[in-house]
Protein backbone atom coordinates (compact mmCIF):
# COMPACT_ATOMS: atom_id res chain seq x y z
CA UNK A 1 0.00 0.00 0.00
CA UNK A 2 1.35 3.43 -0.92
CA UNK A 3 2.26 5.65 2.02
CA UNK A 4 0.54 8.97 1.51
CA UNK A 5 -1.85 11.45 3.06
CA UNK A 6 -3.15 10.65 6.53
CA UNK A 7 -2.03 6.99 6.51
CA UNK A 8 -0.83 6.08 10.00
CA UNK A 9 1.88 3.44 10.36
CA UNK A 10 2.40 1.38 13.54
CA UNK A 11 3.79 3.21 16.56
CA UNK A 12 3.43 3.34 20.31
CA UNK A 13 1.30 6.46 20.78
CA UNK A 14 0.80 8.07 24.16
CA UNK A 15 -1.20 11.13 25.13
CA UNK A 16 1.05 13.23 27.33
CA UNK A 17 0.93 16.44 29.34
CA UNK A 18 3.73 18.91 29.89
CA UNK A 19 3.95 21.24 32.87
CA UNK A 20 5.58 24.62 32.44
CA UNK A 21 7.57 26.53 35.03
CA UNK A 22 4.80 29.14 35.13
CA UNK A 23 2.24 26.48 36.05
CA UNK A 24 0.50 25.70 32.77
CA UNK A 25 -0.56 22.29 31.46
CA UNK A 26 0.21 21.66 27.79
CA UNK A 27 -1.33 18.72 25.93
CA UNK A 28 0.54 16.58 23.44
CA UNK A 29 1.44 13.17 22.10
CA UNK A 30 4.56 11.03 22.04
CA UNK A 31 4.92 8.49 19.21
CA UNK A 32 7.69 5.89 19.44
CA UNK A 33 8.79 2.89 17.36
CA UNK A 34 7.07 -0.39 18.15
CA UNK A 35 9.91 -2.84 17.54
CA UNK A 36 13.01 -0.87 18.53
CA UNK A 37 14.25 1.86 20.80
CA UNK A 38 14.26 5.24 19.08
CA UNK A 39 17.60 6.33 17.67
CA UNK A 40 16.71 10.02 17.98
CA UNK A 41 13.86 12.29 19.04
CA UNK A 42 12.04 15.05 17.18
CA UNK A 43 10.66 17.81 19.41
CA UNK A 44 8.26 19.60 17.09
CA UNK A 45 7.23 23.25 17.41
CA UNK A 46 4.14 24.03 15.38
CA UNK A 47 3.21 27.01 13.18
CA UNK A 48 1.51 30.18 14.40
CA UNK A 49 -1.59 29.28 16.46
CA UNK A 50 -3.34 32.54 15.62
CA UNK A 51 -3.14 31.50 11.96
CA UNK A 52 -4.34 27.93 12.51
CA UNK A 53 -1.09 26.25 13.56
CA UNK A 54 -1.25 23.44 16.13
CA UNK A 55 0.30 20.08 16.95
CA UNK A 56 -1.68 18.44 14.12
CA UNK A 57 -0.37 20.77 11.41
CA UNK A 58 0.05 18.33 8.58
CA UNK A 59 3.83 17.92 8.33
CA UNK A 60 4.11 17.14 12.04
CA UNK A 61 1.05 14.89 12.02
CA UNK A 62 2.59 12.93 9.14
CA UNK A 63 5.99 12.85 10.83
CA UNK A 64 4.37 11.25 13.87
CA UNK A 65 2.34 8.91 11.65
CA UNK A 66 5.30 7.69 9.58
CA UNK A 67 8.73 8.26 11.09
CA UNK A 68 8.55 5.98 14.15
CA UNK A 69 8.00 3.07 11.76
CA UNK A 70 10.13 4.23 8.83
CA UNK A 71 13.10 5.78 10.62
CA UNK A 72 13.03 4.59 14.26
CA UNK A 73 12.39 8.10 15.54
CA UNK A 74 10.42 9.28 18.55
CA UNK A 75 8.19 12.23 17.68
CA UNK A 76 6.93 14.62 20.36
CA UNK A 77 4.12 16.97 19.38
CA UNK A 78 2.31 19.39 21.67
CA UNK A 79 0.12 22.46 21.63
CA UNK A 80 1.85 25.59 22.86
CA UNK A 81 0.01 27.73 25.41
CA UNK A 82 -3.55 28.61 24.45
CA UNK A 83 -3.53 26.33 21.40
CA UNK A 84 -6.34 23.85 20.68
CA UNK A 85 -6.46 20.66 18.63
CA UNK A 86 -8.48 17.41 18.72
CA UNK A 87 -6.06 16.26 21.45
CA UNK A 88 -7.24 19.12 23.68
CA UNK A 89 -6.51 22.69 24.65
CA UNK A 90 -3.31 23.78 26.34
CA UNK A 91 -3.64 26.17 29.26
CA UNK A 92 -2.80 29.84 29.00
CA UNK A 93 -2.85 32.25 26.10
CA UNK A 94 -0.68 32.92 23.08
CA UNK A 95 2.14 35.30 24.01
CA UNK A 96 3.73 36.07 20.67
CA UNK A 97 6.78 33.90 21.26
CA UNK A 98 7.78 35.33 24.63
CA UNK A 99 6.32 33.10 27.37
CA UNK A 100 6.46 30.23 24.86
CA UNK A 101 10.06 29.90 26.05
CA UNK A 102 8.54 28.07 29.03
CA UNK A 103 6.71 25.73 26.64
CA UNK A 104 9.93 24.78 24.86
CA UNK A 105 11.59 24.21 28.23
CA UNK A 106 8.71 21.98 29.38
CA UNK A 107 9.08 19.83 26.26
CA UNK A 108 12.80 19.47 26.80
CA UNK A 109 12.25 18.61 30.47
CA UNK A 110 9.92 15.83 29.32
CA UNK A 111 12.55 14.53 26.90
CA UNK A 112 15.13 14.43 29.66
CA UNK A 113 12.78 12.80 32.19
CA UNK A 114 11.83 10.08 29.69
CA UNK A 115 15.47 9.61 28.68
CA UNK A 116 14.59 10.07 25.02
CA UNK A 117 17.76 9.97 22.93
CA UNK A 118 19.46 12.58 20.76
CA UNK A 119 16.77 15.28 20.67
CA UNK A 120 16.42 17.60 17.71
CA UNK A 121 14.12 20.60 17.71
CA UNK A 122 12.09 20.80 14.50
CA UNK A 123 10.26 24.08 14.07
CA UNK A 124 7.88 25.08 11.32
CA UNK A 125 7.12 28.74 10.57
CA UNK A 126 6.39 30.31 14.00
CA UNK A 127 7.98 27.24 15.53
CA UNK A 128 11.29 28.15 13.87
CA UNK A 129 11.25 31.45 15.76
CA UNK A 130 11.02 29.54 19.04
CA UNK A 131 13.76 27.16 17.90
CA UNK A 132 16.13 30.00 17.02
CA UNK A 133 15.41 32.05 20.14
CA UNK A 134 15.36 29.27 22.74
CA UNK A 135 16.85 26.10 21.25
CA UNK A 136 20.38 26.96 22.33
CA UNK A 137 19.26 26.93 25.97
CA UNK A 138 18.77 23.17 25.85
CA UNK A 139 20.73 19.97 25.34
CA UNK A 140 19.89 19.23 21.71
CA UNK A 141 21.72 17.79 18.74
CA UNK A 142 20.54 20.60 16.52
CA UNK A 143 17.59 22.48 15.09
CA UNK A 144 15.78 21.96 11.80
CA UNK A 145 13.84 24.96 10.52
CA UNK A 146 10.97 24.51 8.07
CA UNK A 147 9.96 27.72 6.26
CA UNK A 148 11.54 30.17 8.71
CA UNK A 149 9.82 33.58 8.35
CA UNK A 150 12.29 35.37 10.65
CA UNK A 151 9.65 37.77 11.91
CA UNK A 152 10.29 37.39 15.64
CA UNK A 153 13.79 35.89 15.56
CA UNK A 154 16.20 38.80 15.26
CA UNK A 155 19.60 38.99 13.60
CA UNK A 156 21.06 38.75 17.10
CA UNK A 157 19.14 35.51 17.72
CA UNK A 158 20.48 34.08 14.47
CA UNK A 159 24.08 35.21 14.99
CA UNK A 160 24.10 33.56 18.42
CA UNK A 161 24.25 30.19 16.63
CA UNK A 162 27.61 31.03 15.06
CA UNK A 163 30.23 28.64 16.38
CA UNK A 164 27.68 26.59 18.30
CA UNK A 165 28.32 22.85 18.32
CA UNK A 166 24.65 22.15 17.53
CA UNK A 167 23.72 21.85 13.87
CA UNK A 168 21.40 24.39 12.28
CA UNK A 169 19.55 23.28 9.15
CA UNK A 170 16.91 25.29 7.32
CA UNK A 171 14.58 24.21 4.51
CA UNK A 172 13.77 27.29 2.44
CA UNK A 173 10.90 27.00 -0.06
CA UNK A 174 11.52 28.51 -3.48
CA UNK A 175 8.14 30.25 -3.38
CA UNK A 176 7.88 30.98 0.33
CA UNK A 177 5.49 33.73 1.39
CA UNK A 178 8.00 35.33 3.76
CA UNK A 179 11.63 34.25 3.19
CA UNK A 180 12.93 32.89 -0.10
CA UNK A 181 16.37 31.34 -0.72
CA UNK A 182 18.30 34.48 -1.72
CA UNK A 183 16.97 36.45 1.22
CA UNK A 184 17.60 33.51 3.55
CA UNK A 185 21.25 33.39 2.48
CA UNK A 186 21.59 37.03 3.51
CA UNK A 187 19.77 36.63 6.83
CA UNK A 188 21.79 33.54 7.82
CA UNK A 189 25.14 34.89 6.61
CA UNK A 190 26.21 35.42 10.22
CA UNK A 191 26.15 31.63 10.72
CA UNK A 192 28.35 30.31 7.90
CA UNK A 193 28.10 26.75 9.20
CA UNK A 194 24.29 26.75 8.91
CA UNK A 195 23.01 24.43 6.19
CA UNK A 196 20.42 26.14 4.00
CA UNK A 197 18.49 23.81 1.70
CA UNK A 198 16.56 25.58 -1.07
CA UNK A 199 13.56 23.47 -2.05
CA UNK A 200 12.64 23.85 -5.70
CA UNK A 201 8.91 24.39 -6.10
CA UNK A 202 8.43 24.51 -2.33
CA UNK A 203 5.85 26.71 -0.63
CA UNK A 204 5.48 27.82 2.97
CA UNK A 205 2.84 25.24 3.91
CA UNK A 206 4.47 22.26 2.11
CA UNK A 207 1.14 21.15 0.65
CA UNK A 208 1.00 17.89 -1.29
CA UNK A 209 2.59 14.47 -0.98
CA UNK A 210 5.69 15.41 -3.00
CA UNK A 211 6.55 18.27 -0.66
CA UNK A 212 5.70 16.20 2.41
CA UNK A 213 8.09 13.47 1.34
CA UNK A 214 10.82 15.99 0.61
CA UNK A 215 10.52 17.55 4.07
CA UNK A 216 10.44 14.21 5.89
CA UNK A 217 13.40 13.00 3.85
CA UNK A 218 15.47 16.06 4.76
CA UNK A 219 14.59 15.64 8.44
CA UNK A 220 15.67 11.99 8.39
CA UNK A 221 18.80 12.85 6.41
CA UNK A 222 19.88 15.03 9.32
CA UNK A 223 18.73 12.85 12.19
CA UNK A 224 19.09 9.22 11.05
CA UNK A 225 20.51 9.05 7.52
CA UNK A 226 20.89 5.27 7.76
CA UNK A 227 17.09 5.04 7.36
CA UNK A 228 17.17 6.55 3.88
CA UNK A 229 15.67 6.23 1.39
CA UNK A 230 12.31 6.34 3.12
CA UNK A 231 9.96 3.66 1.80
CA UNK A 232 6.93 4.81 -0.15
CA UNK A 233 5.08 1.50 0.27
CA UNK A 234 3.99 -0.35 3.42
CA UNK A 235 3.11 -4.03 3.72
CA UNK A 236 0.42 -4.42 6.35
Residue 72 confidence class, pLDDT cut points 50, 70, 90: very high
Annotation: CATH topology of 12-227: Rossmann fold (3.40.50)
Q: Which helix (H) or strand (E) holds 65?
A: helix 58-71
For 127, other C-beta atoms within 10 Å of its C-beta total: 29
Q: Which pLDDT tens digit goes with each residue over 195-229?
A: 999 999 999 999 999 999 999 999 999 999 999 99
For the chain, which residues make up each domain, given as ranges? 12-227
The β-bridge partners of 142 are 120, 167
What is the chain's mean pLDDT, rounded?
98
Closest CA to 135 of 157, 114, 152, 154: 157
CA distance 221 to 118: 14
- Rounded to 5 degrees, what are φ and ψ at 158? -70, -50
Specify the pTM.
0.98
CA distance 152 to 50: 14
The β-bridge partners of 27 are 17
CA distance 78 to 123: 12
Cβ–Cβ under 8 Å, residues 54 and 85: yes
Closest CA to 65 of 120, 134, 10, 135: 10
CA distance 197 to 174: 10
CA distance 216 to 184: 21
Q: Which pLDDT tens digit goes with each residue over 26-71?
A: 999 999 999 999 999 999 999 999 999 999 999 999 999 999 999 9
Amino acid sequence: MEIRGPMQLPALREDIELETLDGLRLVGELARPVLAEPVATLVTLHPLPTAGGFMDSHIFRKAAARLPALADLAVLRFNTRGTASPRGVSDGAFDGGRAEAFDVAAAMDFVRERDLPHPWIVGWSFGTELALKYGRDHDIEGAILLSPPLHRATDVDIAAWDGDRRRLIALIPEFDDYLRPDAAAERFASVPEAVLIPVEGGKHLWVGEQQTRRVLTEIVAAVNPAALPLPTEWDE
